[in-house]
Amino acid sequence: MNLDLLFRGITVLTMDDARPLLRDAYLGIEGRKIVWLDTKAPEGTAARTLDAPHFVLMPGLFNTHTHLGMSVLRGYADDYELDTWLRQYIWPAEAKLTPEAILAADALSLAEGIASGTVSFTDMYFHEPKMAELCLQAGCMANLCNAFMCLTDEYDPNTDRAFQELQVLTRDYHNADGRIKADVGVHGEYTSFPAVWELAAGFAKEHGLNVHLHLSETKREHDACVAKYGMTPAALFEKYGLFDTRTTAAHCVHVTDEDVEILAARGVTAVHDPGSNLKLASGVQRTEYLIKKGVNVSLATDSACAINTNELFYDLKLAAILHKGIQLDPALLPAAETLKLATRNGAYAQSREKESGMLRVGMDADLIAIDFDKPHLIPCHDVASSVVYSARPSDVALTMCKGKILYENGEWKTLDIERIKYDMLHVALPCVTG
């Protein structure tokens, strides 16, 4: 066996139910794949051997609902409820952003996420073909869409930038290098109407694409939909076919019990964005109920202008403790279950569960190394608990996607971080402040 990289003497948190934790283990990588994982050493040689007894290897994180180009608006309009925040501050500011500004913000967000252990992003924003090129350069995975959004009942797909970008993403980037997937995006019920949903659903079915949308984020949005259509957003979207292919539904804070039955039956992923929903006072998703009813729940940060970070570790810990406090039950969402939201469940949401989301021989080497030689991680009685409750984004020592190291010990291997910071300050920021 000739390996490209061999981790030796490590602890492996596999997220594989068959072998959840291996200590003093060996993990070998050849090309994109994990080809060895055992407590005994493989035969053969390795181009590089990494002795790391203080490392914990685990699957890379999946941030399954993001607007990465919005990092230029981080801290721009804090402490407003969602509708005011969007209509009076965010949408007017976004109208000033150039393609170059958005790309600069995208790059900064990717750098931030990759350095904190995220290997894959589900992104909904503008100029996504350029984002696809950037992700290929960075080496990460991404499901990308520019969401359909039409605030009147007049819609022409021939002049819609979102539809044009969808066609380009589908034609030129879907499955590119096994890293990029084109999604069909619908911003939400309150920003579109049935003709748009029918077009989106039809395109998704024709091309075998996932759908990405916002669902019942606020009570106001949810109740207004019921008043307008006599149906909840979930029931409405099911009626118009948006759940006919695998769908990622962000937020799902105000879904009804009947909505949950629909989501479970149609295999829809409900994305938990605890930080964003709390900061915008949208409410709290009934995560434990969704899981109990068989809904796949994944984790996300939402945008950096909503929760001020692209680092998923903060939402990971918040998801684990939030529901305990609300329901007065410390057994809800235990650490190992919460980690599934950010790994295996995220891979499923992106239709990547066959190659990613856990560490197992034959799976892609999409993994991170957490440095447990830190005061706040000593002692470690339970590895999963330490990752969820004690680890910080800065503890990530290595991020790898498809066998390629993207970040190691403070160094971005695929991105020019100094150029990225310069472009944010001198290209993107003046669009907002100048």
pLDDT in tens, 333-362: 999 999 999 999 999 999 999 999 999 999
Cα dist from 403 to 4, 60, 400, whole Å:
9, 12, 6
- Domain ranges (residues) in the chain: 2-59+355-412, 71-349
Q: What is the pLDDT of residue 147?
A: 97
**SS3 at position 11:** strand
Secondary structure (3-state) at 401: strand
Confidence at residue 153, expressed as pLDDT on a 0 to 100 scale: 77
Q: Using CA atoms, how far apart are residues 19 and 340, in angstroms rounded to an integer?
A: 15
CATH class of 71-349: alpha beta
State the Cα angle at 34 between 28 and 35, rounded to 5°: 70
Give the relative orientation of helices 161-168 and 128-138 as an angle to the nearest 10 degrees: 40
- The string of pLDDT tens digits covering residues 3-29 is 999 999 999 999 999 999 999 999 999
Question: According to the model, what pLDDT value does residue 82 have?
Answer: 85
Q: Are 218 and 82 in contact (CB under 8 A)?
A: yes
Q: How far apart are CA 297 and CA 337, in angstroms?
A: 10
Whole-number Å distance between alpha carbons of 378 and 158:
59
2-59+355-412: CATH class: mainly beta
- Parallel, antiparallel, or unpaired: how do β-strands 180-186 and 367-371 relate? unpaired
Residue 154 has pLDDT above 90, yes or no: no
Contact by Cβ (8 Å): 85, 362: no
The 10s digit of each residue's pLDDT in 116-142 is 999 999 999 999 999 999 999 999 999
Give me the mean pLDDT over the 287-301 stretch: 98
Residue 379: cis peptide before it, omega within 30 degrees of 0: yes
Write down the pLDDT at residue 61.
99
pLDDT greater than 90 at residue 179: yes
Q: Which residue has the tokens 């197992």?
A: 360
Mean pLDDT computed over every residue of the chain: 97
Q: How far apart are CA 326 and CA 365, in angstroms?
A: 37
3-state secondary structure (DSSP) of residue 25: strand
pLDDT of residue 152: 80
Predicted confidence (pLDDT) per residue in 230-255, tens digit: 999 999 999 999 999 999 999 999 99
**One-letter amino acid identity for 108?**
L
In the predicted model, is pLDDT for residue 163 greater than 80?
Answer: yes
Peptide bond into 20 cis (omega under 30): no
- pLDDT tens sequence across 75-117: 999 999 888 999 999 999 999 999 999 999 999 999 999 999 9
**What pLDDT does residue 369 have?**
98
Residues 1, 193: Cα–Cα separation, whole Å: 57
β-pairing, 33-38 vs 411-412, is unpaired
The pTM is what?
A: 0.98
CA-CA distances (angstroms) from residue 156 to 130, 182, 211, 241?
A: 23, 21, 20, 20
Residues 6+ apart with CB under 8 A from 221: 188, 189, 190, 233, 254
- Give the mean model confidence (pLDDT) for residues 157-171: 96
